[in-house]
Structure formats: structure tokens, C-alpha cells
Amino acid sequence: MVKHNLKVLAEKIILILAISFWALGCAGPLKQQVLTVKVAPVSQEYKLTKRLQGVAYVLLAEANTGQEQHRYAVSDSLVWAVKEYGKDSGDLSFLSLPSKPGKRPFDENLEVLSFADLANLLNEKDMSERYAEMRDFYQRNGMFRKSDLQSLGKEIGADYFILPCLSDVRRWGTSRLSIFGLKVINTQAIGVVVSMEIWDGKSGHKVFSATSDVTIATERISESPISIEEAFRRAWFGIIQELPK
């Protein structure tokens, strides 16, 4: 009799757990996010004080993490974030940003072009070596030369150059709950640290610089990892929020 009661109780517990996990799966993954944005100090003389306008090229990202394979994804995600900011960017409530931020920090006529656009144009004008020299100078000195920015900007019609940088990418995952050795709730997390520098193509000034550190964690039944592009985009949204309106 006791064995029978224990068997019935075990079956009920398993049934309740199964229903709970099914409901959790139907509800979608639980998400948490921590976002920290730090704007580097720039004196008032050089500081960006108005909305970006004109033509801006996003350069290929700098990366010193040993994960240089992400450089294109970092640059492309920044272009996407700039173009989508202020539109329906999805559910950003847990990002501490509204899904449709009020005023965009970009002029309506701002044209943001990707590194692919820049590379194609440089090859058409046979200027790839000049661009390589400009980037080499930056990697050695941490800055762009005014003459390089002005010369390149004049040739390709650029008002601004936006340089994204990747400082860190990290992933991890744990199983928070398992039954009889079967993983039923998995925690997947990703953290990225990116920064953005905006350089004026006419004055040669560095007018804006900021760093964004974002960690996203989800709890779900499946072990599906979080998209790294999603992490990059959310980090960029945090920086864009800090641009002058």
C-alpha cells in the first residue's frame, strides 16, 4: 500500500514538473540584462553638441581580444543600430530603453554607410593603400591624423568617420535544474564590451567616444545560445542613447 502511494505521488510530481516546464517553454525564455555605458570626457571646444548630419562611414572595427573574426559583425551591427534607432527596434524594455526612443540623435538626412560601401569605393578610387596607412597610424598612435581624415573625407564625401572597437566577448552557460540527469532549465549568457569613436572628417577632431558593457542572460528549456549580433546591437543602442539630441 505504501509503495503504491509513493508511486502515485511520484507520478503526480513528474506530471506537475512536466506541465510547469511546458508552460515555461510556451512563455518563452526569461531574459535579464545589465548595461553600463561610459562616455569619455571631451572638452567643450571639441565636443559633439548637435545631431549628426551629412555622410558618415563606419570603419572596420578594431579588435584586440584575439577574436578578430567578429570585426565585421561589430561594424555591421553598428550600422544596423544607427539606422533602426528610433524606429520599432523590438522589445527593449529590459534594456532600460523604450522600444521607440523619443528623439533620434541623427539628422533625418544623415547617410550612414557600411565598411563594405567604403571598401568598394576605396577600391574604385584606388585609395586602399592610403586607407591602410591611415589605419596603421591609428593602431600605432591611438589617433587619426587630421591630414588623413581631411584627404579621405574630401575624396569620398565623408563628414564623419565612426570607428567601432571590440574589447571583449565572453559566453558561458549552466544548468540550473535537472531531473534524473536530464537538463531542463539552461542558463545561457553572453557579455560584450564595445566602444565607439566619432571623428570629424573636416576638422580632424575626435568629437565623441563611449564604451558599452552589456551582459545578457536567458533561461530556457532548450540550450540555444544567444546571438552575438543581438548583444552587439543592444550595446550600440546604449551608446547611441548618449549622443546629443
Map out the domains of the chain as residue ranges: 29-240
pLDDT of residue 23: 45
pLDDT in tens, 132-179: 999 999 999 999 999 999 999 999 999 999 999 999 988 876 655 555
Packing angle of the helix pair 146-156, 115-124 (nearest 10 deg): 80
Q: What is the pTM of this model?
A: 0.77
Average pLDDT in the 4-31 region? 50
Residues 6+ apart with CB under 8 A from 223: 173, 183, 186, 188
Average pLDDT in the 180-201 region? 80
Q: Above 60 in pLDDT, residue 29?
A: no
pLDDT of residue 131: 96
Going by pLDDT thresholds of 50, 70 and 90, the confidence category of residue 72 is: very high
Q: Which CATH class is domain 29-240?
A: alpha beta
pLDDT of residue 224: 60
Average pLDDT in the 62-79 region? 88
Residues 6+ apart with CB under 8 A from 26: none
Q: Above 80 in pLDDT, residue 90?
A: no
Higher pLDDT, 29 or 70: 70
Average pLDDT in the 34-54 region? 90
d(C-alpha 185, C-alpha 218), whole Å: 10
| Proportion of the chain above pLDDT 90, given as a percent | 51
d(C-alpha 195, C-alpha 141), whole Å: 17
Going by pLDDT thresholds of 50, 70 and 90, the confidence category of residue 24 is: very low
pLDDT in tens, 14-23: 544 544 444 4
- Which residues, listed in sequence order, are joined to residue 206 by a DSSP beta bridge? 199
